[in-house]
Amino acid sequence: MELREIFNRDEADYDRYRPGYPAEVFTAIRDYTGVGQDGVAVEIGPGTGQATGPMLAMGCRVTAVELGDRLAAFLGEKYPTDRLRVVQGDFMEWTAEEPADLVYSATAFHWLPAPESYRKVFEILRPGGAAAIFRNHPYPARMEDESNRVNERVYQKYRPRDICPPEFSADDCRPMLEALKAAGFQDVEARLFHRVRQLTTQQYIGLLRTYSDHRAMPEEMRRAFEAEMARELDKIGGEIRIYDTIDLYLARRPEL
């Protein structure tokens, strides 16, 4: 089983613990694209619909292409509207039936092969249509935060690393911007959004269980990791703060 298929194992917890996205992200997409009532949108890898609901609320007609069969079924039940069509399958093998005004993907596009995925998005869009690709980068490793120091100690014990990865920054946007330009898009830009989430111990353990790399750990190690993380967080009040950066990329297919 590929790591990207692990999400399909527990759709209820994925929906319960994975965060949505700030309203400002969808405002930026609407303002850039002009998409709205009856706009034709394609979503790549919707999961349980953290980004699907806001797009439906804009009035879009959304075709959501989801690899996991259980996730796809969950999504259809969560949003019982004729403005949502759920397609279960691999986006790279799917054929669009009509040109799209918007193709978007929320924390899923990185699973697709490059540069083929960029070309496919370009081809699906109508001339003048737009792409919106965004991803949440959680960062629980700010050492001035006690809850983050606890988190890092437990990670270092079970999943040691020489260097703690830095927090996502504007410099990290360059590869995606260059890839979009190379695929023929114009008016390419990136925007960053920030937030802080405060989770209880239980919520944090539940969130960790939705991550593919965590689910791929040997079971005995994973259980020990979770138990120690819970004990250590409970000692300092039973909460952890996670510092999120959401990077949004906007790009337009040129008019004919």
Task: Assess whether pLDDT exceeds 60 at residue 92.
Answer: yes
How many helices (H) and strands (E) the chain has is answered by 10, 7
pLDDT of amino acid 164: 82
Phi, psi of 142 (to 5 degrees): -80, 115
DSSP state of 183: T
Q: What is the pLDDT of residues 177-189, one digit of tens each?
A: 999 999 999 999 9
pLDDT of amino acid 234: 98
Q: What is the pLDDT of residues 35-86, one digit of tens each?
A: 988 899 999 999 999 999 999 999 999 999 999 999 999 999 999 999 999 9
Please classify residue 219 by burial: count the beta carbons closer than 10 Å to its beta carbon, then call 0-12 exposed, 13-18 middle and 19+ buried: exposed
Task: Assess whether pLDDT exceeds 80 at residue 203.
Answer: yes
Nearest to 43 by CA among 67, 22, 27: 67
DSSP state of 5: G
Task: Assess whether pLDDT exceeds 90 at residue 156.
Answer: yes
For range 238-248, the mean pLDDT: 98
DSSP string, 239-253: EEEEEEEEEEEEEEP
